Structure 1
Amino acid sequence: MMNRKKCVIYLTAAVMLFCAGCGSQKEKQTDAGDKKEASQPAETGNQDESKTKPEKDADTLSKANDIAAIYRFELDGHTYQLPFPVSELEENGWTLREGDAGQTMEGMSYIITSMTDANGSSVRLNVVNLTDQEQQLKDCEIGGIMIYAKGASNVRFQTADGISLSSTPADIKKTYGTDEPVFSESTSQDDTTTIWYKFYKGQTDDLRMPSVDSIQSDEDTLSFIVDKNQKLTGIELQYFGSTQ
């Protein structure tokens, strides 16, 4: 009888030791799991936002208003936005060349003329009549302006993005980029380089003065003329405004 009691006691003790060992092993596994989870970096809200945040549109000049802003410039302290009336330049001291002052223009036509300031500096202009009616030249609009170092060395001129005749080709490309088909560049036989930007897509690549059709198709051209010494000698802006 005594032996049976001893066996029961020994068996009970063995079971208790086994259970205690299992509990200890489970605690070790749980601790290890906790440590493993703690070692992994927690996901933050910023990481989630970076995954779901849309990328910035690469074409920042897709809207007509964006393009129009490029054709804003400063001339001798006055700001102009192409196209604008010839009379605005007259009010600020510029005079049409002799023979053009009293001229009239037929509807949907253009001429190339120039204006001179009190210091003798001159700028070339592309003047357009965008109406169907005949108008005095002074009442028509300037759709293009050309500034050349040879005739406008004393003129203070810069584009809306700060490019002037003292800028470099690198400045121009950094400002407006080199993405095709907006950007193009060519060099002539005398090593003069022309850098062109045409921000409206789908227009022709030629640089002819506008016909009625091109006026209606929102043609725009921003060009820079660079001599063989990499000096900027001319800036040309041509923009007729959106007809959309």
Structure 2
Amino acid sequence: MTAPALVALAHGSRDRRHKATITQLVAQVRRLRPDLRVETAFLELSEPGFGEVVDGLVAVGVEEVVVVPLLLSEAYHAKVDVPAAVREAMARHDGLQVHASKVLGLEPAFLDVLDRRLREALSDARVRELDALVLAAAGSSDPLANQAVARLARVWGQHHHLPVTAAFASSAPPATGEAVRAFRAEGRRHVAVASMFLAPGFLPDRAKELALEAGAVAVSEPLGSDEVLAQAVLARYAVGAVELVPV
């Protein structure tokens, strides 16, 4: 039996760095599982779109697809956009089975990647002392998604024995600049910001700009392409592939 195809479905962005980063991440997935048919697709703003990718798979005889949403939160895109895209694809192709896995989410293992990115930023800025951290994420109108970021921030802070605040680039307070200023008002002068974003784009750029304006000593780059993330994609795929098997 042929294994289902894997479609890594990212949000998309007008920023070319976003697509380049997603492409690199999916290339890592392919290297880890060269036996799988692995494709990249985007919900909006970037090409190829999900429908185009599915059409191409069907044209070469693929009958089963597992979609892994490259999203870090269970918010609007995960709850509305991804299911709608799956339904539309199945409606256009009789006999095609498409299953969307859970999103990548905020796995504790991602904190290792976050730490590496932050160490790189601290090294570049020649910073050796920290007394507070800010975990910057996209933010959502869904309070549960924001609470998940806050929980991860607490875990991260406990690991480093430092105070940590979650901050958001949109939809929810505090913004990164507000979080940095709050720490500085407490007398903490060495505040670093870690970017819990998957890829570069407008929101991480804005979060970085506000943090530096407020006095952050360093701001890390987004998680980017990393084997830890590639392994997480394959773990989501494995569960999705099992769920496609008829009971």
Report the TM-score when normalising by structure 2: 0.22
Question: Whose RCO is larger (CA < 8 A, sep 6+)?
Answer: 2
Bigger proportion of residues as helix: 2
Report the TM-score when normalising by structure 1: 0.22
User: Which of these two proteins has the greater Rg computed from alpha carbons?
Assistant: 1
